[in-house]
Each structure stands twice: as structure tokens, then as C-alpha cells.
Amino acid sequence: MAPPYHDAPRLTAVLGPTNTGKTHLAVERMLGHRSGMIGLPLRLLAREVYDNVVARVGDRAVALITGEEKLVPARPRYFVCTVEAMPLDRPVDFLAVDEIQLADDGERGHVFTDRLLNARGLEETMFLGADTIRRLVRRLAPDMAFISRPRLSRLDYAGPKKLTRLPPRSAVVTFSANDVYALADVLRRQRGGAAVVLGALSPRTRNAQVALYQGGDVDYMVATDAIGMGLNMDVDHVAFAALRKFDGRGLRALTPAELAQIAGRAGRYMNDGTFGTTGDVGGLDADVVEAIEGHRFPSLRAIYWRNARLRFTSLDALIRSLDAPPPAPGLMRAPDVDDRRALGALAGEEEIRRFAANPDAVRLLWEVCRIPDYRKTMDDAHARLLGRVYTHLMQGDGVLPEDWADRHVAPFDRIDGDIDTLVTRIAHVRTWTYISHRTGWLADPGHWQARTRAIEDRLSDALHDRLTQRFVDQRGSALVRELKRGGAVSAAIDDDGAVDVVATEKLRGR
């Protein structure tokens, strides 16, 4: 199929609100070239796009590259990646980056800014995102052409509603795990149950929970803003149960643009959607409603930047290059995030400094510092793990000892425990999945990749089961499914006066 916009300029920003088909457009453009690469904001979204592209061109033509997963055939033509994992040393005819307005994010923004300034395809480059970044893109990339994409459906404010009065096919949004669980408990008791989507869930668990909702087993979902980045779901209404979130530094109110990114999950393609509030939130201010309905928000004033041209001549030179000031107006220095904090912690250790005595050793230390802290604690335990990884790699045969790796991985290969325990184990295992994909760090990386993936899959399946057991009334959801299919139900009063309702065609005898 020939891609649209045959005469599109080489450097293009495609901007607009949610549900405008921007990602679809980029995939079509990519497949119209001999080779291409697209960077996406979430591992889960990258997997979804990868599966769609594979269905069209076959798995031999497509690579999937994320921090924790690499599926790279012998001669791939197309690369589907998370933004951080894009192999930019690989030339491709077409290159795209999705959700480019995330350059405004304190934790990851500097990566998106780097892609905006430095990532280019040989024939065509496309950046996708919200219109709030237009003014800065025009300043930082003067050769950029712009395409505006209107939303495909209406998004209207429906006001506040009680949790138990929300319409079917609603997503309830809050910003802490405890609040998600509390709301899902209420929906289980009152409305038969809810699927749960949290950023801390593994992609496999999130997929299973979304499938529970998409398949009609439950009519409600309770989620954090993890649903705000392009996950494709049939949501008719988004209800905010909170308007403030902890962003790593403190509790703050969400901006209208952030609320719109989440509210925009309501409605899909040509189906209209609504948004509102629930619980103790009260109504939204009229100016916020007007901004969300009209997709009009203030332009970003600056985006985060961190020097990508690092110097590895010495440890101190690396630190100075990381801390270099932004080179242009509209760019602000990124805060010290996990990798920079880890480097600062390890640079203070005498043994680490002794090892980091040449450019190759400094470069390796920086790679080790970039091992993500999936538990989001950045505590002494994570720093100690990074220190041990580095010292092992710098000694002996230059790989991590098998028995040492086993001692770290084996304790997490068990599926007993509650929801929080399983979430914590998945976070630990994801760290080792990441390590297993670093070139040359393990003597048998294929073994460790398969092992950590198998453990994560088992934990993810167990977590999905725990979530479903806790937050879904299985009997009630079965009745709801039967009624949707037009089945009959019958009711009887037992000796204790309780009413027993069953779907006569499907549930008799259970």
C-alpha cells in the first residue's frame, strides 16, 4: 500500500490530540520505505506495534528492541523500539519518534529531546506528538514542516458521577496503587469487578488485564496514568478519582494537557467519548473543561536536555560532560535521574575509581549505571548491585559469574505471595532481563534471557490470577456476559432467604 502524503517534506512533525491516527500514519510511512525505525514511549506499545508490523511483512523483516527484549532477525528492514533503545548507529531510510512532547518529562525528557535534535532518517524523519511542543520544535528545528491532525471523534465533559453510577466501559483513573486497589474493591462489590492497570505491572500482566476488560468479563477498569500513552482499548468514559500525583519529588496537580492525554483514551476511531470525575474530586473547573474539549493548551516553554556527546577519557571528564549546560534557549538541564545518581554514588567509591582508569573502563561503568532501577527506589541496595556488577565485569574473564547471577535470580522464581510481593519480584527479575541483553556481560546470554523471561512470565501469570481473584466477581461477571449474549436468567430464594440468580443456559450445574 502506498503511504499517504507522498510529497511530505523530509523532516516533519505530525501534531494533534489523542485519537488522531498519528502512530498509524507513521507506521504506514515507515512501511512505504525500504527500511525504517520507530521509537515508542512504552515497551508495551512497542510490542503492540511490532506484532502489527510482523503481521504485514513477516517476522524476518522486523526487529523489536527494548531495554529488556531483543528480537533481531538476520537482516531486518524495520526496527520497532522503545525511544531509549533505538539503535541510532544503524542507518535507516525512515525514522519516527512517538509522543515527542515527553521531552517535557523530568525523568525521560532528555532522551526525547536528544532524538528531536539528533535522530534522523536518510530520506524522511517524522516526530509525532501533542501540539504543545510546536513552538519549541519550530525554534529548535527550523527546517521542520508541520502536519496537524484533528481528533477523529468528540470528547465531551460529563461532570461528576458516583463510582457506582459510572456507565459501563468506564476507566477510573487515580495515581497510587493503594487507591487503585481500593476503587477496584468497591467496583467488585457493587458492579461485578474491574480490570487493573498500573505502571508497575509487567507488560504480560497488563495485556492480560486489558484483555479481561476488552473481552467483556468486566465493564470497568481502574488505572493510573499508565493508560495515557496509546494503549488501544474500547473506553467510552474516563473518570478521574484524583487530580494530583506524586512525580518523584512531591505531590502536584496534573496540568490540563496531562488530564487531556488521559481523558483522550475515551472514544476510539469514530466513536465519541466522555470524561468526568468521581469520588471526592468534585467537578472540573470550566476553563479546564474548555481546554480539554477544545484541545487547546499552553505551549511548552522549555524541554529537558542532557549532553549526549559524552567524554570517557576519565571518570571526572564523564561527569563534567553529563553536567554540561544546555546549548540553546528552550532547553533546560535535566535533573539528576537514576543513571546520573548511580554514577555519583559509585564515583565516590575508591575501588570503582581504581577500576575506571581508562576510557573503555569508564564507558563500561556508565553502561552499568544505566541499568534501570525497576523498583523505583534508587536505594543503597540498587547501588550496591551496580557496584558488584561493575567489579565482576572488570575482573577475571570479564563476565558475571554464573553462580553469583544464579544467587540473585533464583530467589524470585516462586509464585507464592500477595499482589505486592509478586510486583516486587517482577521488578527484580526485569533488572536481570535487562542485564542478560547487554553484550558480553554473561558467558551464556541466551540461557539467561530465556530463564529471566520464563520467570517473568510465570510471575506475570500468577499476578494476573491474583488481581482477577481479588477484583473480579467471577460469578457476577459470568452472569453479565450471559445477559449481553441474550441468555436467560432465573432467580430462587433459598431456605435462608438469600436470592440466587443464575444464567439458566450457561451456568446450570456449576
Q: Name which of 191, 189, 242 is nearest 213 in CA terms.
A: 191
> DSSP labels for 348-396?
T-HHHHHH--SHHHHHHHHHHHTS--TTS---HHHHHHHHHHHHHHTST
Can you give the pLDDT at residue 7? 45
Q: Which domains, and CATH codes, for the chain?
A: 11-148 (3.40.50.300), 155-294 (3.40.50.300), 303-468 (no CATH), 474-503 (no CATH)
The string of pLDDT tens digits covering residues 293-339 is: 988 899 999 999 999 999 999 999 999 999 999 999 999 999 988 89
Over 90: is that where the pLDDT of 200 sits? no
The string of pLDDT tens digits covering residues 372-404 is: 988 776 568 888 999 999 999 999 899 999 999
The mean of the pLDDT values for the chain is 88
Residue 38 neighbours by CB under 8 Å, 6+ apart: 26, 27, 30, 49, 78, 79, 80, 81, 95, 96, 97, 98
- How far from the centroid of its chain's Cα atoms is residue 137's Cα? 24
Quote the pTM value.
Answer: 0.86
Other C-beta atoms closer than 10 Å to the C-beta of 447 total 13
Q: Name which of 338, 257, 358 is nearest 15 in CA terms.
A: 257
Q: Per mean pLDDT, which range of 144-153, 243-252, 259-268, 354-363 is the poorest? A: 243-252
| Cell numbers representing residue 303 in the block | 524541554
Region of residue 280 (phi > 0: left; psi between -120 and 50: alpha; otherwise: beta): alpha
**Residues 211-228, buried b or exposed e (16+ Cβ, 10 A)?**
ebbbeebbbbbbbbbbbb
Residue 340 neighbours by CB under 8 Å, 6+ apart: 322, 369
Strand partners, 245: 252
Confidence grade of residue 203 (pLDDT, cut at 50, 70, 90)? confident
Q: Per mean pLDDT, which range of 110-124, 198-212, 425-439, 477-491 is the poorest? A: 477-491
- Contact, 112 vs 97, CB < 8 A? yes
Helix and strand counts by DSSP (H, E) for the chain: 17, 20
- Contact, 34 vs 147, CB < 8 A? no
Of all residues in the chain, what percent carry a pLDDT higher than 70? Answer: 90
C-alpha distances out from residue 40 to 26, 49, 153, 226, 283, Å? 11, 9, 23, 14, 33
